[in-house]
Amino acid sequence: MKKCIACGMPMEDISDFAAGDPTKDYCIHCARPDGEMQSFTEKKENLTQFIVRTQGFDENAAGKIAENMMRKLPAWEKYFD
């Protein structure tokens, strides 16, 4: 089973893949409306806002968690060298 390179989500169903395309390595949540993968900055901002909305954390703390999530994912490893 493929895992999204940008957020780690398992992609089982075709609807999990960006643009419903199973050849893509990233998921629907990590795609822009045009189907391209979000940039590092966009993904970090989206994850941060998601953590704030679902857990109510302070924005700086949420940003750190977002970075820690991204640090181990293939799409973003190079940003943490």
Partner 1 sequence: MADSTRQIQKANTRKKIMEAAYRVFSEQGFSVPTSVIAKEAGVAHGSIFTHFPTLNDLLICLVSEFGNNIGASMHGLAAKCDSVENLLTGHLNVLEQYEAFYTRLISETSKLPGEAKNTLAVIQSTVAFHFSSVIEREIEKGTVKNLPVHILFNTWLGLIHYYLLNREFFADSNESIIRRYKAELLSAYICLIKKEGGV
Interface ranges with partner 1 (CB under 8 A): 8-10, 12-13, 50-56, 64-65, 68-69
Burial of residue 9 (CB within 10 Å: 0-12, 13-18, 19+) is middle
CB of 69 to partner 1, least distance (A): 5
- Minimum Å gap between C-beta 6 and partner 1 is 14
Q: How far is the CB of 48 from partner 1 (least distance, A)?
A: 11
**d(Cα 17, Cα 36) in Å, to the nearest integer?**
12
Question: Which residue lies nearer to partner 1 by CB, 5 or 65?
Answer: 65
Complex with partner 1: residue 32 or 72, whichever CB lies closer:
72
Residue 60, C-beta contacts closer than 8 angstroms, at least 6 positions apart: none
